């Protein structure tokens, strides 16, 4: 197995450095087979969400893989539109039923606002929902908790009002979209940054400037883009439904030089 290294969360829980993302992977055979392929390729970290609608297929693929549950890190997310305590408790239970495990490894608030109101102020509601997250954590049904798509203001509101601090913030992160201030704020507060869409949902793949760097290392644009996120100190969550890409995206044990990192930092 390659890439079986870990980041360590603030509570000591170890999290494999590359996660397999399942956003937009349809439930049923496609999600099931993709997760099976990922586990065969060596991934030990699978990222899903209630909103993806594929938690049941993800859970089934993990069980059918024959790999010990304890070896696989499983993340899911509370839907972004759930902004009160009671609903948060119910939805967390719903995830557990769908995914079919006694525990998951990480549960995130999917976004600080409902997707229909991006940028709206739900500070008070997020603080309330965080209480449900803390209790879910204390119940042992998840080994860690965190947030996703939170900016500095959203994170600070939780930090100022929590008993248990978020351990992760999952944000969109790729070459040309570095979110440096948010990432630095997370790091300063002991919050691991996870990066979704490390390939900019595929838009990065035809980039000639990244292709030139990739050629130097004998790697693909996808591999350089995923490696870049790792070298920024964040945890990449690439996704694919094609076995050859799934394998390729996990094969990123090489080092981008400091000069090339500066060059990639400069790309828009």
Helix 152-161 to helix 123-138 angle, to the nearest 10 degrees?
A: 60
Q: Is 222 in the site for ligand A2P (CB under 6 A)?
A: yes
- How crowded is residue 203: how many other Cβ atoms within 10 Å of its Cβ? 11
Residue (145 or 199) nearer to ligand A2P, CB: 199
- Whether 245 is catalytic is no
Q: Is 195 in the site for ligand A2P (CB under 6 A)?
A: no
Q: Pick one of 95, 126, 197, 207: the residue that binds ligand A2P (CB under 6 A).
A: 197
Q: Is 201 in the site for ligand A2P (CB under 6 A)?
A: yes
Q: Please give the backbone phi and psi of residue 40, each rounded to the nearest 5 degrees, phi first.
A: -65, -35
Q: How far is the CB of 222 from ligand A2P (least distance, A)?
A: 3
CA distance between the termini of the chain: 34
Place of tokens 């998840």: 142
Q: Is 245 in the site for ligand A2P (CB under 6 A)?
A: yes
Q: Is 145 in the site for ligand A2P (CB under 6 A)?
A: no
Binders of ligand A2P among 3-42, rule CB under 6 A?
A: 21
Q: For the purposes of burial, counting CB atoms within 10 Å of the CB of 171, is it exposed (0-12), middle (13-18) or buried (19 or more)?
A: buried
Q: Pick one of 28, 100, 190, 202: the residue that binds ligand A2P (CB under 6 A).
A: 202
- Which window, 57-65, 125-133, 159-167, 193-201, contacts ligand A2P (CB under 6 A)? 193-201
Q: Pick one of 239, 250, 252, 256: the residue that binds ligand A2P (CB under 6 A).
A: 239
- How crowded is residue 86: how many other Cβ atoms within 10 Å of its Cβ? 10
Residue (176 or 233) nearer to ligand A2P, CB: 176
List beta partners, residue 148.
170
Q: Is 112 in the site for ligand A2P (CB under 6 A)?
A: no
Place of tokens 């969550």: 237
| Residues that contact ligand A2P, how many (by CB under 6 A) | 18
Q: Is 248 in the site for ligand A2P (CB under 6 A)?
A: yes
Binding site for ligand A2P (CB under 6 A): 21, 197-202, 205, 220, 222, 238-242, 245, 248-249
């Amino acid at each position: 197995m390659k890439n079986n290294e870990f980041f360590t969360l603030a509570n000591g829980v170890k999290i494999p450095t590359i996660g397999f993302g399942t956003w937009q992977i349809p439930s049923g055979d496609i999600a099931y087979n993709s997760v099976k392929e990922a586990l065969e390729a060596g991934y030990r970290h699978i990222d899903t969400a209630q909103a993806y609608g594929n938690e049941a297929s993800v859970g089934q693929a993990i069980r059918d893989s024959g790999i010990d549950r304890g070896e696989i890190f499983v993340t899911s997310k509370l839907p972004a539109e759930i902004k009160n305590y009671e609903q948060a408790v119910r939805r967390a239970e719903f995830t557990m039923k769908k995914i079919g495990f006694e525990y998951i490894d990480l549960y995130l608030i999917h976004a600080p606002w409902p997707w229909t109101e991006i940028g709206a102020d739900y500070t008070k509601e997020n603080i309330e929902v965080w209480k449900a997250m803390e209790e879910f954590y204390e119940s042992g049904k998840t080994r860690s908790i965190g947030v996703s798509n939170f900016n500095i203001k959203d994170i600070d509101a939780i930090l100022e009002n929590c008993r248990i601090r978020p351990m992760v913030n999952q944000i969109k992160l790729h070459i040309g979209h570095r979110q440096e201030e948010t990432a630095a704020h997370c790091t300063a507060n002991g919050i691991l940054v996870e990066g979704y869409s490390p390939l900019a949902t595929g838009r990065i793949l035809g980039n000639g400037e990244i292709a030139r760097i990739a050629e130097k290392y004998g790697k693909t644009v996808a591999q350089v883009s995923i490696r870049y996120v790792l070298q920024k100190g964040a945890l990449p969550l690439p996704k694919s439904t094609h076995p050859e890409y799934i394998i390729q995206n996990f094969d990123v044990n090489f080092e981008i030089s400091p000069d090339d990192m500066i060059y990639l930092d400069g790309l828009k």
